[in-house]
Structure 1
Amino acid sequence: MTILDVEAVQAFVTIADLKSFTRAAEALGTTQGAISVKLKRLEDRVGHKLIERTPRMVRLSVQGAAFINGARDFLAAHERAVAGLSPTAVRRFTLGIAAHIAGPEVPTLLARLNTHDPAMTIEVRIDTSRALLDAFDRGDVDAVIVGREDDRRDGDVLAKERLGWFAAPTFEHREGQSIRLAALSPACRVHDVAKRALDAAGIAWTESFLGGGSSAVMAAVSAGLAIAPFSPRMAPLGTVDVGERYRLPELAPFEIVLHTTLSDTRSREALRMLAAAFREHRPASLRWDSGFV
């Protein structure tokens, strides 16, 4: 009978999820060498190569693809069994994510956290960076992923995000007129950066649309009513970067930062997994390690 080692299976699933030995080691708080040893031990145990690794990519083998769902079920069953022995079996924390950062990958990241620790419940709040930082400082949320604010240098850097000026292909701007800028109400840091950049370049602008939320701003931009600053990852579908066309100033990338007060081991492990997965979804040219432990 084949007996599986929990840590080896966890290493395999984490490598498969993050498609990187380096990120998997970061997420599990160990070294790349240790991750490789655990994977080799699992492959020897099951008698199959589970991960194919080249200098350019890491992917599941045919056998690995057949094994991955069972491996996830194995880990979930193990976590449920261990959690049942604890008087605090259910753990909960509140995570805030800034609206201009929370992209389409967020459900995938949360699903990975659930696989990693089924006994943990995470309440997610979406708001502006400033509002979430204020909530964090009041103790209303346990951790936030936000854009770096100018007035504070604390927190752990997760990634760096590029910004552009996006509009619908039908958007028209006549030379000499003020730029029609769609903006959140209240304003978020990205829009503040955009306004300062326009002011510094001597380009007149007007807030022609004040949205109550990011979805309203996206709708205004998609309809061709205005321009708005977005990262390419978050720009509304079908819009294009018009910065060069209208000679708009280049927008400096901004740092995405994690703030947390969580100190227990399991919560820190969950955040480490989230941080590693979050970086995976950013272009490699705009990523660096944060040292989050």
Structure 2
Amino acid sequence: MINAPLDLDAVRAFVRIAELGSFTRAARATQVSQSAISLKLKRLEERLGCRLVDRTPRHVDLTQQGTEFLQHARILLEAHDRALAMVIEPRQRLTIGISDHVAGPELPAVIARINAEAPQLVIEIQIGSSDALLQQFDRRELDVAIVRFDADRDDGTILCRERIGWFAAPGWSHREGLPLPLATMPDPCGMRKLACETLDAAGLAWREVFVGGGVAAVSAAVMARLGIAALSPRMLPPEAVDVGAGLGLPALPHLPIALHSRATTADSRSAIDALSSAFRSAVRG
């Protein structure tokens, strides 16, 4: 039974010799002399009690024991390097929640911008409703939440204000005398609440014709001509039409997008700055 630990430098030297097929090249790769790497191999062989390498004038061959040991040596070194990296240079994780009504088609570009600014961070992004994301943020399950502004809170920073309209598919028309067909997301969606309360306040009859589990589903229902929806124009295909004025519907307010953050490190703050700039650019665009 082997009790004494292996010398990892000697194991690494053996792996380099095996991979490069030469003591000279292995010595150059590890920046030591050829005699030093030969000595490391000799000590490893003595420690294991077997010959790992057959030396010939032209090249180096592994013995059967050397071939069998090589796989285990690589696994040992990989485990050592992973463990060391976790202690010396752990990768920070930044967990971001983005409202489904905010994320939009620009999300791939937003992610790329964050990664370009802070490539060393592990970025985790969750998409959900503003209400649910704020609850997660309060439970410290999220480092950052980008959501529709909540008037009951005073801890967020307004990034920008986004136009909201009543959108329909090209050529869609409303049958006069019938309630307005509305595509929405389920409660407690804030956009649904805004749309319904705005129509009720104006005394306009409406009926729910579609409930989608996300903005993409609501947008698809609109483009399928099921009805209209209150959405940001960037959440819909370019050909979608704002029918609010034509139908005499009440104007919807520009809604703020709020950032909630508890970032503490310089890398996290840089990533959040990039994230904020990306959303400002998306809304302006």
TM-score (norm 1): 0.65
In terms of fraction of residues, the more helix-rich structure is: 2
Q: Distance in 1 between matches of 2:154 and 2:207?
A: 31
Q: Is the 8 A contact 2:131 2:188 kept in 1?
A: no
Q: Structure 2: which amino acid aligns with 1:271?
A: I
Report the counterpart of residue 173 of structure 1 in structure 2. Answer: 174
Report the counterpart of residue 76 of structure 1 in structure 2. Answer: none
Q: Structure 2: which amino acid aligns with 1:273?
A: A
Q: Distance in 1 between matches of 2:176 and 2:234?
A: 29
Pair member with larger Rg = 2
1:199 paired with 2:210, answer: no
Q: Distance in 1 between matches of 2:117 and 2:212?
A: 37
Q: Distance in 1 between matches of 2:238 and 2:247?
A: 20
Report the counterpart of residue 94 of structure 1 in structure 2. Answer: 95
Report the counterpart of residue 13 of structure 1 in structure 2. Answer: none
Give how far 1:118 is off. 1.4
Report the counterpart of residue 79 of structure 2 in structure 1. Answer: none
Q: What does 1:218-237 correspond to in 2, within 5 Å?
A: 218-237=219-238
Q: Distance in 2 between matches of 1:269 and 1:101?
A: 20
Q: Distance in 1 between matches of 2:278 and 2:160?
A: 11
Q: Is the 8 A contact 2:219 2:235 kept in 1?
A: no
Q: Which runs of 5+ in 2 are unaligned?
A: 1-84
Q: Distance in 2 between matches of 1:143 and 1:162?
A: 23
Q: Is the 8 A contact 1:164 1:243 kept in 2?
A: yes
Identity of matched residues, %: 45
Q: Is the 8 A contact 2:183 2:229 kept in 1?
A: yes
Superposition CA RMSD, Å: 1.9
Q: Distance in 1 between matches of 2:258 and 2:167?
A: 24
Give how far 1:148 is off. 0.5
1:119 paired with 2:123, answer: no
Q: Structure 2: which amino acid aligns with 1:241?
A: D
Q: What does 1:9-158 correspond to in 2, within 5 Å?
A: 87-158=88-159
Q: Distance in 2 between matches of 1:256 and 1:162?
A: 11
Give how far 1:237 is off. 4.4
Instruction: Give the SS at the match of 1:198.
Output: helix
List per-residue Cα deviations over 1:181-227 (Å, max 9, x = no partner). Answer: 10112342122111111111111111111122222211211110011
Q: Is the 8 A contact 2:186 2:192 kept in 1?
A: no
Q: Is the 8 A contact 1:97 1:146 kept in 2?
A: yes
Range 172-181 or range 222-231, more displaced: 172-181
Report the counterpart of residue 244 of structure 1 in structure 2. Answer: 245
Give how far 1:234 is off. 1.3
Report the counterpart of residue 266 of structure 1 in structure 2. Answer: 267
Q: 1:85 to 1:211 in 2, by over 3 A?
A: closer
TM-score (norm 2): 0.66
